[in-house]
Structure 1
Amino acid sequence: MTLAPHPGPEAALGASWQRCELKYKLARDTARPILRMQSSEVTPRLQEMIERTGGRNGIFRQLAGIAAETGACLVVTDADGVLVRLEGKQGSRDLFERKGIALGSVWDERVAGTNGVSMALSERAAFTVRGQDHYFSLLKPFSCTAVPLFDAENEIVGAINFSMVDRGNHADYLFARQLLGAAADRVQRLLFERRFDSSMLVTVAPGAGRDLLQNNELVAVNEDGIILGATARAHLLAGSEAPAKLKGQSFETVFGAEPASLVQVPDRVLSVRHGGASLEITARVPSERRVAGRPPKPTPQAAPANPRRRRLAPSLNRLSLGSERMAAMCARAQAYYRRGLPFVIEGPSGTGKSSLVAALTDDAGSAQMMTVDCATLDDIPEDRAYFKTLVGQAQVAGALSDSLREPVTIVFENVDEMPGFAQAGLRAVLEIFDATEGTDMPRIMATSRHSLRQNVEQGLFRDDLNFLLARAVVALPALAERERIDALARDLAGSLAGAEVEITEEALAVLRAHPWPGNLRELRNVLQQALMEGNGRRISAVELLDLAPPATLQAGAPAVPRSVANYDERSMIEDALAGARWNVSQAARTLGMGRATIHRKMKQFGISRPA
């Protein structure tokens, strides 16, 4: 089944009205225009609908509860547009039923005119029909927002719809579209995972986005890397015309990544650029999904062009290495995160704020996370609209929290640089969370290079937002304030080298003496450069000459640790040769000496290459 190009809502509505008037000959002012089936005809349709959507799905109960709270009615129809389930407050239901919105009512365009259900089913996409857009005059008081439901094969099984008294408020339409869209996505994912439970599943998502409810698409692949099926919008990420176009094609050809290589990548995540877009591709090959216990068959094909391996999130223990103060901050952050308490992680650039966020979300298994870099926001219409959308998405995520298998997290990076309009938007988001009880709303974290309290005192940050956001503050110590840099440096060097690295006492003394204005980021760069200049398994003071220039490596030099002050010329030359794998020319370049000078000093000190 193919998707026709979407003509746009206005053109689609116009075409529908034209069909109603010219093709179906419908009279707009008909008193009772909605055809209604008998209950005996509705019951089997309801049973079939339950079976095709995966059983008595708890998501529909949640939608019914939200509809009751908002004064709307939840309408569930089958693929023919027959209303098989109607939920809402009794008063609202009475009003709707008087207008023909009742169990058994048929919303096929040929008899019900232009309406939300028929438009969503025909367009195969979310669609809002406002009061004025309904063809029949009787339906003018209502707005209807409907979303189609797809099965694992992308066949339409029905639609879910919010009908409400039309207040002309676009926020109502947006909320309904986001809420119903998220629910429909979860229904299809459930059906898809059941249908392809013995196949390799690959998750494909846009590489970057600011959409909290952005749904990652699933693609089922066999052991030869051929696509067996995909969820409703996977083809859009591939630049294909329709879901059916993906089936039978090579996953590597379509998405730019060879499936067998995914299981060899740490955390099985690849970031690739394909067709001008950035995609995040994740293999899902748990043991229960393998056929007869076999992993996907490897192929001799090359890995995807320019793949970027995603670094694994560090553990909280690793972040705390060498510092009891850092360990206390990590434990505090973990406690706040688990309790769902909004908090701010403060610290100078490079102290590990982003690493701590990654460790917390990885530890909690949070697969749904949105990151907003506040420093990139501008006071422009697009960014203002974005924050309004974020409020609605936060409400939706909280409303559907019971159907989520992992927590939803929103991270506001560089919140101290957030412009005024965005501060007002974030305050609105947090007030929604603060006023909502008994619901697992998204977890909120923020990072800041400066103290928000100081920014408030300077008039740069709203005090009411600070009270809502900074329920707790986690202040990360600078690297120079951490007690044992030795443990951290050894662990980081080993991680960079992929094996244990020896760091000499003289080199450790140089590392302890350095002020580290760039914190962990600077330490990482220094160690990486040292490993590149040396043999990759040993770091001596010679590889750290940029931190401790040769002039300071002389006996009696002030403000230099004793172990470094006693670092004589012979030791320096031996370390340079060892780091260069006894390549005299390379050692000479490292020390800034001539090759002949190195040979002369080797002879002078009795230095010879080990056997």
Structure 2
Amino acid sequence: MAKDPEPDHPDRVRRTLDDAAGPARSALAASWRRSLTVHGLAPEDRGRARTVTDRQLQEARQAMEPLMLAAQPVLDRLFLAVGDTGCCVLLTDAQGIAVDRRGAAVDDEIFHLWGLWPGSDWSEAAEGTNGIGTALVEHRAVTIHRDQHFHTRNTALSCTTHPIHDHLGRLAGALDVSSARADATAIMLGLISNAVGDAARAIETQAFRQAFADARIVLAGGGVADGADRSAALLAVDRDDLVIGATRAARVALKITDARIAAQLPASDLLGSAAETDFSDSERGAVRRALARSGGNVSAAARALGVSRATLHRKLNRLGLSGH
């Protein structure tokens, strides 16, 4: 499946880092520098990957349970897309601990040996430069191909990783596809990167919809570019058309913060007059039905709609409707 780890890899790493300007010119060299000087790792390390205890793994899984639930069907689909190429799929938490996995049984022994298994610690502090740890540190999608890894023992691997954010826009983990194929080409790695990116966005979207299941989900434009990544900018809007949630992409694109949401942020302030019209069209029918069922009584209609009387009066004025 793969060639032996590169024997001269440690020398290559150290020669690169002997050039003081190297880390300033190369993101890879900067990660190697962190691995060597910040984390105190040695590139010649051929030992086993670091793992956490069963209890620590269970705690990590419990901490990201909503995201893991959202991820299950996406992980299945991603493995169906890449599994035949000798890849396995890993989901990690924000610390780089692998919490879930998909892989072919025929590859389990070798992938387990390399640490591509639940409970393995793929943080940059543990493994040096690698797809998962470096993606989490640099907060971007990365592919670390074979001898771009810091540890010699990992130089037979190609790892493509995209960060994943939770419903509050916080870094929550990473999605990785790793392969030990010696013949992996740039085209193959590019296709894998696209598949991983699509899957990461699908997990984020599903987790967001789960977290705001009772809210209206609004697409705020086409998304925001993040390197080669492009994520859907979604808003969760309540019955008063106030934003109660936003994906990371929406937060970046529209400069949304927790403080702005807490201060009651109208969706129309973010999306413009077209959104106001869309909201008005959908609201008009709901408000008219509530008024009709209450015989025009504003207090009763407000209770039926789950809003305050004052809020409903504001809506009536905006929509050009009346009640009593």
Amino acid at match of 1:122: V
CA-CA distance at 1:112 after TM superposition: 0.8
Write 1 or 2 for the structure with the bigger share of helix: 2
Amino acid at match of 2:279: V
Match of residue 220, structure 1, among 236, 252, 255: 236
Query: 1: distance between equivalents of 2:84 and 2:31?
Result: 32
Per-residue CA distance 1:437-476 (angstroms, 9 max, x = gap)? xxxxxxxxxxxxxxxxxxxxxxxxxxxxxxxxxxxxxxxx
CA-CA distance at 1:60 after TM superposition: 1.6
Query: 1: distance between equivalents of 2:177 and 2:238?
Result: 39
Amino acid at match of 2:162: V
Per-residue CA distance 1:374-409 (angstroms, 9 max, x = gap)? xxxxxxxxxxxxxxxxxxxxxxxxxxxxxxxxxxxx
Query: Is the 8 Å Cα contact of residues 229 and 246 (structure 1) preserved in structure 2?
Result: no
Amino acid at match of 2:209: E
Amino acid at match of 1:218: L
Work out the number of aligned pairs and report it: 266
Match of residue 305, structure 2, among 293, 298, 304: 293
Match of residue 28, structure 1, among 31, 34, 43: 43
Query: 1: distance between equivalents of 2:71 and 2:303?
Result: 29
Query: Is the 8 Å Cα contact of residues 260 and 298 (structure 1) preserved in structure 2?
Result: no
- Note the aligned Cα RMSD (angstroms): 3.5
SS in 1 for 2:220: strand
Match of residue 144, structure 2, among 125, 129, 134: 129
CA-CA distance at 1:243 after TM superposition: 5.8
Amino acid at match of 1:63: L
Query: 2: distance between equivalents of 1:236 and 1:40?
Result: 36
Query: 2: distance between equivalents of 1:106 and 1:10?
Result: 28
SS in 2 for 1:100: coil
Residue 120 in structure 1 maps to residue 156 in structure 2 = no
Structure 1 counterpart of 2:156 = 141
Amino acid at match of 1:102: W
Classify 1:234/1:173 alpha carbon distance in 2 versus 1 (closer, same or farther; 3 Å).
Answer: farther
CA-CA distance at 1:53 after TM superposition: 3.0
Segment drifting more, 135-144 vs 13-22: 13-22
Query: 2: distance between equivalents of 1:113 and 1:231?
Result: 30
CA-CA distance at 1:40 after TM superposition: 4.2
Query: 2: distance between equivalents of 1:10 and 1:167?
Result: 28
Query: Is the 8 Å Cα contact of residues 70 and 206 (structure 2) preserved in structure 1?
Result: no
Query: 1: distance between equivalents of 2:152 and 2:280?
Result: 61
Match of residue 248, structure 2, among 223, 232, 235: 232
- Which is higher, the Rg of structure 1 or of structure 2? 1
Query: Is the 8 Å Cα contact of residues 169 and 251 (structure 2) preserved in structure 1?
Result: no
CA-CA distance at 1:45 after TM superposition: 2.8
Give TM-score scaled by structure 2 length. 0.69
Structure 2 counterpart of 1:572 = none
Classify 1:25/1:176 alpha carbon distance in 2 versus 1 (closer, same or farther; 3 Å).
Answer: same
Show the 5 A alignment for 1:87-236: 87-165=102-180, 167-206=183-222, 216-236=232-252
Query: Is the 8 Å Cα contact of residues 134 and 142 (structure 2) preserved in structure 1?
Result: yes
Amino acid at match of 2:173: G
Give TM-score scaled by structure 1 length. 0.39
SS in 2 for 1:37: coil
Structure 2 counterpart of 1:84 = 99
> Which runs of 5 or more residues in structure 1 are unaligned?
1-8, 208-212, 269-286, 303-611
Match of residue 58, structure 1, among 73, 86, 97: 73
Classify 1:224/1:10 alpha carbon distance in 2 versus 1 (closer, same or farther; 3 Å).
Answer: farther
Classify 1:45/1:291 alpha carbon distance in 2 versus 1 (closer, same or farther; 3 Å).
Answer: farther
Query: Is the 8 Å Cα contact of residues 268 and 276 (structure 2) preserved in structure 1?
Result: no
Show the 5 A alignment for 1:161-560: 161-165=176-180, 167-206=183-222, 216-238=232-254, 240=255, 244=258, 247=261, 248=263, 249-257=265-273, 259-264=275-280, 292-293=304-305, 298=315
Query: Is the 8 Å Cα contact of residues 260 and 299 (structure 1) preserved in structure 2?
Result: no
Residue 45 in structure 1 maps to residue 60 in structure 2 = yes
Amino acid at match of 1:110: A
SS in 1 for 2:32: helix
SS in 2 for 1:21: helix
Residue 68 in structure 1 maps to residue 83 in structure 2 = yes
Classify 1:217/1:142 alpha carbon distance in 2 versus 1 (closer, same or farther; 3 Å).
Answer: same
Query: 1: distance between equivalents of 2:91 and 2:111?
Result: 14
Structure 1 counterpart of 2:29 = 14
CA-CA distance at 1:139 after TM superposition: 0.9
SS in 1 for 2:46: coil
**Identity value in percent:** 23
Classify 1:18/1:292 alpha carbon distance in 2 versus 1 (closer, same or farther; 3 Å).
Answer: farther
SS in 1 for 2:273: coil
SS in 1 for 2:116: coil
Query: 2: distance between equivalents of 1:162 and 1:216?
Result: 22
Classify 1:243/1:148 alpha carbon distance in 2 versus 1 (closer, same or farther; 3 Å).
Answer: farther
Classify 1:257/1:16 alpha carbon distance in 2 versus 1 (closer, same or farther; 3 Å).
Answer: farther
> Which runs of 5 or more residues in structure 2 are unaligned?
1-23, 224-228, 284-288, 290-301, 320-324
Query: Is the 8 Å Cα contact of residues 107 and 115 (structure 1) preserved in structure 2?
Result: yes
Query: 2: distance between equivalents of 1:138 and 1:107?
Result: 13
Amino acid at match of 1:293: L
